[in-house]
Amino acid sequence: MIRCVRLWTGEDGNSLFEEGIIEFKDSSRGDSESLPIAVSELSFRETTSGGSYDWHQDPVPRYVITLSGTLEFETKDGSTFIIKPGDVLLAQDNSGTGHKWRLMDDEPWRRAYVVYKEDAGLCFKPTKTTK
Protein backbone atom coordinates (compact mmCIF):
# COMPACT_ATOMS: atom_id res chain seq x y z
CA MET A 1 0.00 0.00 0.00
CA ILE A 2 1.32 3.46 -0.91
CA ARG A 3 0.20 6.36 1.27
CA CYS A 4 -1.22 9.30 -0.67
CA VAL A 5 -2.47 12.65 0.61
CA ARG A 6 -4.83 14.56 -1.67
CA LEU A 7 -4.64 18.36 -1.42
CA TRP A 8 -7.35 20.35 -3.22
CA THR A 9 -9.22 23.67 -3.21
CA GLY A 10 -12.59 23.63 -1.46
CA GLU A 11 -15.65 25.62 -2.48
CA ASP A 12 -14.64 28.41 -0.06
CA GLY A 13 -11.26 28.82 -1.81
CA ASN A 14 -9.26 27.26 1.02
CA SER A 15 -7.05 24.22 0.59
CA LEU A 16 -8.25 20.96 2.14
CA PHE A 17 -6.57 17.57 2.44
CA GLU A 18 -7.52 13.96 2.93
CA GLU A 19 -5.55 10.82 3.67
CA GLY A 20 -5.71 7.96 1.23
CA ILE A 21 -3.82 5.32 -0.66
CA ILE A 22 -2.90 4.53 -4.23
CA GLU A 23 -5.38 1.81 -5.12
CA PHE A 24 -4.00 -1.44 -6.50
CA LYS A 25 -5.73 -3.99 -8.64
CA ASP A 26 -5.59 -7.68 -7.74
CA SER A 27 -2.23 -9.29 -8.24
CA SER A 28 -1.57 -12.65 -9.76
CA ARG A 29 2.06 -13.31 -8.86
CA GLY A 30 2.63 -11.87 -5.41
CA ASP A 31 3.06 -8.21 -6.30
CA SER A 32 0.42 -5.55 -6.77
CA GLU A 33 0.17 -2.64 -9.16
CA SER A 34 -2.13 0.23 -9.91
CA LEU A 35 -3.95 0.71 -13.14
CA PRO A 36 -1.91 2.78 -15.63
CA ILE A 37 -2.15 6.56 -15.16
CA ALA A 38 -1.84 8.70 -18.29
CA VAL A 39 0.81 11.38 -17.70
CA SER A 40 2.13 14.25 -19.77
CA GLU A 41 5.28 15.36 -17.94
CA LEU A 42 7.86 14.13 -15.44
CA SER A 43 10.47 16.30 -13.73
CA PHE A 44 12.69 16.11 -10.65
CA ARG A 45 13.58 18.72 -8.06
CA GLU A 46 15.78 19.03 -4.98
CA THR A 47 15.54 21.53 -2.12
CA THR A 48 18.41 21.73 0.36
CA SER A 49 17.81 20.77 3.99
CA GLY A 50 16.12 23.45 6.07
CA GLY A 51 14.10 24.67 3.10
CA SER A 52 10.57 26.00 3.18
CA TYR A 53 8.07 27.62 0.83
CA ASP A 54 5.50 30.13 2.06
CA TRP A 55 1.87 30.33 0.86
CA HIS A 56 1.42 29.17 -2.73
CA GLN A 57 -0.75 27.02 -4.97
CA ASP A 58 0.41 24.22 -7.21
CA PRO A 59 0.80 25.48 -10.78
CA VAL A 60 -0.91 22.42 -12.27
CA PRO A 61 -2.61 19.33 -10.84
CA ARG A 62 0.08 16.67 -10.36
CA TYR A 63 1.53 13.93 -8.23
CA VAL A 64 4.53 14.80 -6.07
CA ILE A 65 6.47 11.67 -5.11
CA THR A 66 8.84 12.24 -2.19
CA LEU A 67 12.16 10.40 -2.54
CA SER A 68 13.94 11.93 0.50
CA GLY A 69 13.14 14.46 3.20
CA THR A 70 10.30 14.77 5.71
CA LEU A 71 7.99 17.75 5.36
CA GLU A 72 5.16 19.41 7.19
CA PHE A 73 2.44 20.94 5.02
CA GLU A 74 0.00 23.51 6.39
CA THR A 75 -3.28 24.92 5.10
CA LYS A 76 -4.65 28.40 5.94
CA ASP A 77 -6.84 27.09 8.78
CA GLY A 78 -3.72 25.79 10.56
CA SER A 79 -4.28 22.10 9.76
CA THR A 80 -1.09 20.16 9.05
CA PHE A 81 0.04 16.85 7.64
CA ILE A 82 3.41 15.14 7.27
CA ILE A 83 4.91 13.74 4.06
CA LYS A 84 7.76 11.22 4.33
CA PRO A 85 9.92 9.42 1.76
CA GLY A 86 7.76 7.02 -0.24
CA ASP A 87 4.59 9.08 0.26
CA VAL A 88 2.70 10.58 -2.66
CA LEU A 89 1.05 14.00 -2.63
CA LEU A 90 -1.84 14.41 -5.07
CA ALA A 91 -1.55 18.18 -5.46
CA GLN A 92 -4.77 19.68 -6.82
CA ASP A 93 -4.95 23.04 -5.02
CA ASN A 94 -4.04 25.18 -8.02
CA SER A 95 -6.34 28.05 -6.98
CA GLY A 96 -7.43 29.70 -3.74
CA THR A 97 -5.41 30.26 -0.55
CA GLY A 98 -2.94 27.44 -1.17
CA HIS A 99 -0.59 25.84 1.32
CA LYS A 100 2.93 26.13 2.69
CA TRP A 101 5.56 23.57 3.60
CA ARG A 102 8.81 23.23 5.53
CA LEU A 103 11.45 20.54 5.74
CA MET A 104 11.56 18.94 9.18
CA ASP A 105 14.78 16.92 9.06
CA ASP A 106 18.38 17.30 7.87
CA GLU A 107 17.73 15.65 4.52
CA PRO A 108 17.17 17.54 1.27
CA TRP A 109 13.71 17.20 -0.27
CA ARG A 110 14.15 15.15 -3.42
CA ARG A 111 10.97 14.62 -5.37
CA ALA A 112 9.46 13.73 -8.69
CA TYR A 113 6.68 15.86 -10.18
CA VAL A 114 4.32 13.86 -12.38
CA VAL A 115 1.75 15.91 -14.29
CA TYR A 116 -1.18 13.71 -15.19
CA LYS A 117 -3.43 14.13 -18.20
CA GLU A 118 -6.79 15.81 -17.61
CA ASP A 119 -8.82 12.66 -18.25
CA ALA A 120 -6.50 10.29 -16.36
CA GLY A 121 -7.79 7.83 -13.79
CA LEU A 122 -5.93 8.82 -10.62
CA CYS A 123 -6.03 5.56 -8.58
CA PHE A 124 -6.57 7.57 -5.37
CA LYS A 125 -8.73 5.95 -2.71
CA PRO A 126 -9.56 8.11 0.34
CA THR A 127 -9.25 6.48 3.74
CA LYS A 128 -10.32 9.49 5.80
CA THR A 129 -10.88 13.20 5.31
CA THR A 130 -8.77 15.19 7.74
CA LYS A 131 -9.51 18.83 6.85
Per-residue pLDDT averaged across 101-110, rounded?
98
Asked whether the whole model's pTM tops 0.85, one would answer: yes
Could you state, in order of their start, the residue ranges of all structural domains in the chain? 1-24+35-120
List pLDDT tens digits, range 5-15. Answer: 999 999 999 99
- pLDDT of amino acid 112: 99
- Residue 128: what pLDDT? 78
**Among candidates 102, 97, 123, which has minimal Cα distance to 9?**
97
- pLDDT class for 130, splitting at 50, 70, 90? low
pLDDT confidence of 131, banded at 50, 70, 90?
low
DSSP states along the chain = -EEEEEEEE-TTS-EEEEEEEE--BPPSSS--BPPP--EEEEEEEEE-TT-EEEEE--SS-EEEEEEE--EEEEETTS-EEEE-TT-EEEEE--STT-EEEEE-SSS-EEEEEEEEPTT----EEEEEE--
Tally of CA atoms within 13 A in the half-sphere of 16 that contains its CB: 10
Which band of pLDDT confidence, cut at 50, 70 and 90, is reported for residue 100?
very high
Looking at domain 1-24+35-120, its CATH class is mainly beta
Provide mean pLDDT across the span 70-96. 98
Tell me the mean pLDDT in the region 49-77.
97
